[in-house]
Amino acid sequence: MSAVVSVVIPVHNGEKYLRECLDTVVGQTLKELEIICVNDGSTDGSLAILEEYAARDARVKIVSQEASNAGHARNTGLAETTGKYLSFLDADDWFELDMLQSMVSLAKETDADVVFCKAATFNQKTGVQSTKSFSLKERLVPKGKVFSFADIREDAFQFCRTAAWDKLYKASFVKAEGLQFQEQPRMNDCFFSTMANVRARKMAVCNKTFIHYRINTGTSITSISPDIAYPCTLNTFGKLQKAMRPEELSLVEKSWKNFVLKNVVNEIATFSEDIAYRYYTLLKQNDFGLKGMKGSEIYDRFLYHMYDKYLDKDWTEESFKVAFADYLKEYRAKKKQANWKKSLGGLVCLLRSHSLASLLRQFRNSR
């Protein structure tokens, strides 16, 4: 049986959630699959679980390698694929069972190089599963047709997440473009997925939530030490900027600048002052076009204010650390205000959706 879809799953010490992940792949309504599991130097029971599944399902293939990173593992799996379409899944997440059949159907109907779906979060600590997609901003996508980067030039970097797991890729397109994952500790799929969006002739959206993204597990690549992880985002942006042709970058320049701006301003606030200074130093070595952005180019004036006031300056290490303390104070105050407004908005929506009598009944019942 030839594979319609090759599913690549990097696995590094993923035994806790691996069975649930694999069950949602082998149980897909689309049966013509090859499931390539890359055992990335696991030291727990992951390999034994993979061997158990491979023993009872010939579609499951295991490739083992020394521990590296998810990007390297994905590239290893990618090299083994033979399917007409490609899908990527992390070992702690899971698919809806009709996902691949639905996405392949749309890919064939539209001849799309990339098909998107929606993803929702599952909070491992609280057990709360979101019903709201966080991966795709449908309001930014042209309705009722296939589209390309040129059709969404002002939102080209804003309309979706830069992950690979909520997308289906035409294999011939990926191979023709020579797309690879960055082999770095984190943010290793941003280059792959973004360049696929840039180069795709046609993209299409499957308007269903098919991916469940597990958060607060304590084991994801987002948990990697900042000492190791801090350069990854800026390295990715540098590689993207070099890879895009001048005409491609010019087409989406406004979207690109705001994409970099948002990530830089938010990310540096997550670091200690020592790591933040290293990040700031690396940022100063790159020209992402942020300096002197015009008012008409700026999507979020607060973000640009923070960049212009604190990051686009020539600080010594000592003066930077003083300025960074002010940065965090101003940034956190703004975030607190935004969270308060969000909570207030949620309360207003609740009041609008319930009659006064209904709210009174709920209040009495809660006493």
Place of tokens 């993209």: 203
Place of tokens 């998810």: 70
Q: Is residue 148 a contact partner of residue 203, using CB atoms and an 8 Å limit?
A: yes
pLDDT digits (tens, 9 = 90+) for 104-163: 999 999 999 999 999 999 888 888 888 777 899 989 999 878 999 999 999 999 999 999
Residue type, 24: T
Which residue has better confidence, 302 or 222?
Answer: 302
Position 81 pLDDT exceeds 90: yes
Q: How does strand 33-40 pair with strand 203-215?
A: unpaired
- Helix, strand or coil, per DSSP, at residue 100: helix
pTM (2 decimals)? Answer: 0.89
Angle, CA 366 vertex, CA 362 and CA 367 arms, to 5°: 125
Q: How does strand 203-215 pair with strand 94-95?
A: antiparallel
* CA–CA dist 278, 232 (Å, integer): 12
Q: How does strand 167-170 pair with strand 85-88?
A: antiparallel
pLDDT at 220: 46
pLDDT at 355: 52
Confidence of residue 340 (pLDDT cuts 50, 70, 90): confident
Please, which residues bridge with residue 37 across strands? 9, 62
Give the percent of the chain with pLDDT over 70: 91
* CA–CA dist 7, 83 (Å, integer): 9
Which residue has better confidence, 307 or 126?
Answer: 307
Confidence of residue 88 (pLDDT cuts 50, 70, 90): very high
300 closest CA partner among 338, 343, 250, 248: 338
What average pLDDT score do residues 50-66 get? 98
Q: How far apart are the first and last CA of the chain?
A: 62
Exposed (0-12), middle (13-18) or buried (19+): which is 9, by Cβ within 10 Å?
Answer: buried
Position 281 pLDDT exceeds 80: yes
N residues, the chain: 367
* CA–CA dist 187, 185 (Å, integer): 7
Residue type, 11: V
pLDDT at 350: 46
198 closest CA partner among 258, 140, 249: 249
